[in-house]
Amino acid sequence: MGRPGGRLGAFVHMDGPLRTGHVGAICLRRARFGLYSPAMSTTTQTPEMEIGAAGVDVERIVAEIRAEADRKIAAGLYDDARVARAERSNLVQLLGEDDFLTFYLKGLRDAVTVDISDFEIHERRKWGAPLLVRFKKTLWSALKFYTYRLWSQQNQVNELFATALDGLEQRYREKITQLEKRVAELERRLPPVN
């Protein structure tokens, strides 16, 4: 199959899956793109550059990867302090993403309360395990007793912050939606430009 030349716009031709992967159902397919050149309509009819002729549909692979990652995020598989730490230097880059705020507000809501409930205390070492468990339990009780006031106040502050941010986000989102509707309506009323 020859490459399309001198045609504006792009098309993709799928020749069928070569292999199905296991990340979601990632399909590796042969794709064929037409030319891609925004400037061509104003300059010349021959392509400036051709892209991805006879290629793998990486956009599809990336879409599958994203869907898989989004599913894992929704399932809480990335609610992990290590991920949060790694993500710190990525925050600036994510600011450009449309769903950045929604994504992080959800994370904030999930993590807003410091967990001060009791938990099961184990001991992996066999020797003296009951004694060690008893010691750890005593330690935890003391720690909880002396820090309860601190953590409960911290939780109160966290919840107030999260609620305020949530409220602000919702309020401005509604406001922006209203303004966008209004702008669209006003633009509709404008006389057509010759």
Site residues for another protein per CB under 8 A? 18-19, 21-23, 26, 28, 31, 33, 36-39, 42-44, 48-59, 61-62, 65-66, 68-70, 72-73, 78, 80, 82-83, 85-90, 93-94, 96-97
Nearer to another protein, 73 or 105 (CB): 73
Nearer to another protein, 28 or 116 (CB): 28
Min dist. Cβ of residue 135 to another protein (A) = 29
Min dist. Cβ of residue 6 to another protein (A) = 15
What 3 state SS string does the chain have?
CCCCCCCCCCCECCCCEEEECCCCCCEEEEECECCCCCCHHHHCCCCCCCCCCCEECHHHHHHHHHHHHHHHHHCCCCCCHHHHHHHHHHHHHHCCCCCHHHHHHHHHHHHCCCCCCCCCCCCCCCCCHHHHHHHHHHHHHHHHHHHHHHHHHHHHHHHHHHHHHHHHHHHHHHHHHHHHHHHHHHHHHCCCCC
Nearer to another protein, 46 or 170 (CB): 46
